């Protein structure tokens, strides 16, 4: 049951998170142009994030490092320290969880909160102000908070005032706060979608909100209806604390130090990527039924090729075998800039029905007595008497900010 006034949703978005964490760790970095980049020593390093001082000089996320340094010669560049960011993220989500149990992390530096019931004790604006102040006071990190009746509007609101902004966006505010914005600024509208919309003279969020539903469906398919609903402030999605556990693919990609056609170097990277995916599959206790590779060439042209498999795979040897098969089939022998391997159609192994074939039957049959004994002990002492041990712990820090395996750490105290 929702209260008569409807839901109250926060979107908490940390400002220039990686750079801000580094400045909190080393205050001497404050006030100078700072960028976090994956490979500062290599020509193909990419800016992961930058401080507002660097942004004022034109430095942007995903910009090549050489270009950023050209725009801002005094730019200070640091490698990412994911352990440090992960620790800060955990503390932020702990603070959020003290206000409401309905917290949904969506990345290392942003998440949703449903404070509908919390407002019985305190005004939502006051809750937001106290949370923002506490994060700044205890962690020395700036944030922006959007307050709205649903997740989409809360997300849009948090982007409207940075850094250290708090913005309320109600449905009655849409005509003057949301609709005048260019279509590219709408969350959920990427570059390709924006081009399609501009092709039918939809240039603002207002144009989308008032557009012809039939035309939108012709241009964007079912996504057209969803985006138009969002533009009109309609979004029924719940804040789901368990959503962090949903995953359909597990992958790893890496940019090479230099464009290459060297077979040995490519094989080495493919082996490393398969190892990364294997490690994450083990941590998730998951298996997948499709394999995909990503190839980005020297001219930045990027292709993805995938293959449906007859049975689930989870081990490195299988991942590497099918990924190499796709690479040999689809690589045009031009110099490669980036490679990626992704296992798709992923499910947790506990939900996958065991499919016995001629190769696994004998192994499973040999375990039958063990299974029988475990079943008897389970009936006597309850579930989880025995657990399959997994010695493949993953102590490596995540390679990118898109790694989400740790986003429920704040609940593991």
pLDDT surpasses 80 at 388? no
> To 10 degrees, what angle do helices 263-284 and 316-330 make?
140
**In the chain, % of residues over pLDDT 70:** 82
CA distance linking residue 108 with residue 21, whole number of Å = 12
Q: Is the pLDDT of residue 86 over 80?
A: yes
d(CA 320, CA 293): 10
Gyration radius of the chain's alpha carbons: 24
Residue 247 has pLDDT above 80, yes or no: no
Among the options 22, 74, 98, 110, which is catalytic?
Answer: 110
Catalytic residue list contains 110:
yes
- Using the predicted structure, report yes or no on whether residue 359 has a pLDDT greater than 50: no
Look up the pTM and report it. 0.68
| pLDDT score of 5 | 65
Tokens representing residue 181 in the block: 């914005």
| Fold of the domain built from segment(s) 9-13+92-133+145-231 | Alpha-Beta Plaits (3.30.70)
User: What is the per-residue pLDDT for 284?
Assistant: 80
Q: What is the CATH number of domain 244-411?
A: 3.30.1490.100
pLDDT tens, position by position, 118-163: 866 679 999 999 999 999 999 999 999 999 999 999 999 999 999 9
What average pLDDT does the structure give for the chain? 85
Given this model, what pLDDT does residue 390 score?
39
- In the predicted model, is pLDDT for residue 29 greater than 50? yes
What is the pLDDT at residue 97?
Answer: 94
Q: Residue 353 contacts by C-beta under 8 Å, 6 or more apart in sequence?
A: none
Inter-residue contact 104 to 240 (CB < 8 Å):
yes
Binding-site residues from annotation? 13, 109
Q: Give residue 109's pLDDT.
A: 93
Domain assignments of the chain as residue spans, ordered by start: 9-13+92-133+145-231, 17-83, 244-411
pLDDT at 368: 52
Question: Residue 385 above 60 pLDDT?
Answer: no
Q: What is the mean pLDDT of residues 243-270?
A: 88
Banded pLDDT at 411 (limits 50, 70, 90): confident
Binding site listing for Mg(2+): 13, 109
CATH code linked to domain 17-83: 3.40.1170.60
Cβ count within 10 A of residue 209 = 21
Half-sphere exposure of 314 (CA within 13 A, CB side): 15
pLDDT at position 50 over 80: yes
- pLDDT over 80 (residue 399): no
């Amino acid at each position: 049951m929702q209260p008569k006034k409807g839901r109250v949703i926060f979107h908490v978005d940390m400002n220039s998170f990686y750079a801000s964490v580094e400045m909190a760790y080393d205050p001497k970095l404050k006030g100078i142009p700072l960028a976090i980049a994956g490979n500062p020593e290599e020509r193909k390093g990419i800016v992961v994030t930058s401080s507002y001082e660097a942004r004022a000089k034109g430095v942007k996320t995903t910009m090549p490092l050489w270009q950023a340094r050209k725009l801002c010669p005094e730019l200070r560049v640091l490698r990412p320290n994911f352990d440090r960011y992960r620790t800060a993220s955990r503390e932020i989500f702990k603070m959020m969880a003290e206000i409401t149990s309905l917290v949904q992390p969506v990345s290392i530096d942003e998440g949703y909160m449903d404070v509908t019931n919390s407002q019985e004790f305190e005004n939502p604006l006051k809750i937001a102000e106290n949370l923002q102040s506490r994060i700044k006071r205890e962690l020395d990190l700036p944030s922006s908070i959007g307050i709205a009746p649903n997740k989409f509007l809360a997300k849009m609101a948090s982007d409207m005032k940075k850094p250290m902004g708090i913005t309320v966006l109600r449905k009655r505010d849409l005509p003057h706060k949301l609709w005048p914005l260019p279509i590219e600024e709408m969350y959920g509208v990427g570059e390709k979608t924006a081009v399609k919309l501009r092709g039918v003279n939809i240039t603002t969020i207002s144009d989308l909100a008032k557009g012809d539903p039939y035309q939108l469906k012709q241009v964007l398919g079912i996504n057209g209806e969803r985006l138009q609903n969002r533009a009109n402030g309609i979004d029924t999605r719940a804040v789901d604390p368990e959503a962090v556990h949903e995953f359909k693919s597990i992958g790893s990609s890496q940019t090479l130090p230099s464009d290459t056609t060297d077979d040995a170097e490519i094989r080495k990277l493919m082996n490393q990527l398969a190892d990364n995916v294997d490690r994450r599959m083990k941590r998730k206790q998951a298996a997948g039924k499709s394999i995909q590779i990503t190839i980005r060439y020297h001219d930045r042209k990027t292709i993805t090729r995938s293959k449906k498999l007859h049975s689930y795979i989870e081990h490195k040897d299988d991942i590497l075998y099918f990924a190499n098969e796709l690479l040999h089939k689809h690589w045009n022998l031009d110099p490669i800039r980036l490679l990626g391997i992704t296992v798709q159609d992923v499910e947790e192994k506990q939900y996958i029905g065991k499919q016995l074939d001629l190769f696994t039957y004998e192994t499973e049959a040999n375990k039958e007595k063990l299974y029988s004994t475990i079943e008897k002990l389970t009936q006597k002492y309850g579930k989880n008497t025995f657990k399959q041990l997994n010695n493949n712990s993953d102590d490596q820090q995540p390679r990118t900010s898109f790694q989400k395996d740790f986003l429920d750490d704040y609940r593991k105290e």
